[in-house]
Amino acid sequence: MKDILNEKFPFAEDILKGYNALVCGASKGIGKATAQMLARAGANVIACARNESELQKLIENMSGNNHKILVLDLEKIESIKESLSKLIGEIGDIQILVNNSGGPPGGPLLENDIADFEGPIKRHLYASHTITQMLVPGMERSNMGRIINIISTSVREPIDNIGLSNTLRGAMGSWSKSLSRELPPCITINNILPGFTDTDRLGSLSESISKKTGKSTEEVRDTWMKGVPIQRLVNPLETATAVTWLSLPTSGSIRGISLPVDGGRMRSI
């Protein structure tokens, strides 16, 4: 997929020039690919994650030179408020927000204690809600706001052996749809539903399911691929292309949708 980013870029390279984009979970996987794609489209990217060294390497190798990093633990809500207030004071309003965070370990839902929900729900729902509340006034001042949530196809079709993740993603989907009815007209909110994507998260998930079910990681992956018509994992840059499209000023009429990027895996319409 290298040519998508560097040789056959699907958007005008200045189409997002002048816009600030905050990308959460940007140190790897879909978040990293999204930061790269938005930068190539001309946005000033604020790459957010806990891993400072990975974020620094990322922005040093992205198109453009007006990017920043934000080292943040999305489970620490008060820290989010403090860091984001300082950031807005430094760079001004942020027009594009990509809510993205790693999912919890796999396994049957009945094996999860209440305590297992606390960290994941903070870094998904609570963090997304807090950041959105803080950025919406600036988006309204800019007369352009785009909020894209990276969640999962499990919003529509729960996936076996990741019950906790299914529950959290479903909450994010309902939160987003509710906001789509409340936000100012100039601000859109939409969801990307990734399928089986070639990321570290998928590897750790297959290992987690393997330990709990006794199946090998190869068996777990083979089972996944049997239901994917394109017969391969999705490249994160393909997902990032969809995020960038929803971020465009010309995508203002697309609001409250959940867009699968799953290689055709889902059976629902």
How high is the pLDDT of residue 3?
58
Helices (H), the chain: 2-6, 29-40, 52-60, 77-91, 114-121, 127-142, 163-180, 200-213, 217-226, 236-247
Contact between 181 and 196 under an 8 Å Cβ cutoff? The reply is no
**194: nearest Cα among 163, 151, 160:** 151
How high is the pLDDT of residue 220?
79
The C-alpha atoms of residue 117 and residue 125 are separated, in whole angstroms, by: 11
How high is the pLDDT of residue 215?
84
pLDDT per residue of the chain (269 residues) written in tens, 0 to 9: 555 676 678 898 999 999 999 999 999 999 999 999 999 999 999 999 999 999 999 999 998 889 999 999 999 999 999 999 999 999 999 999 999 998 888 888 999 999 999 999 999 999 999 999 999 999 999 999 999 999 999 999 998 888 999 999 999 999 999 999 999 999 999 999 999 898 877 777 777 777 777 888 888 778 778 889 998 889 999 999 999 999 999 999 999 999 999 999 999 88
Strand 96-99 versus strand 145-150 pairing type: parallel
Torsion of CA 237, 196, 146, 47, to 10 degrees: -60
The C-alpha atoms of residue 101 and residue 122 are separated, in whole angstroms, by: 10
How high is the pLDDT of residue 269?
83
How high is the pLDDT of residue 263?
94
The C-alpha atoms of residue 72 and residue 269 are separated, in whole angstroms, by: 37
The C-alpha atoms of residue 31 and residue 48 are separated, in whole angstroms, by: 9
The C-alpha atoms of residue 37 and residue 126 are separated, in whole angstroms, by: 26
The C-alpha atoms of residue 76 and residue 221 are separated, in whole angstroms, by: 34
How high is the pLDDT of residue 20?
98
Q: Tell me the backbone φ, ψ of residue 122, rounded to 5 degrees.
A: -65, -50
Which domains are assigned to the chain? 2-197+235-251 (3.40.50.720)
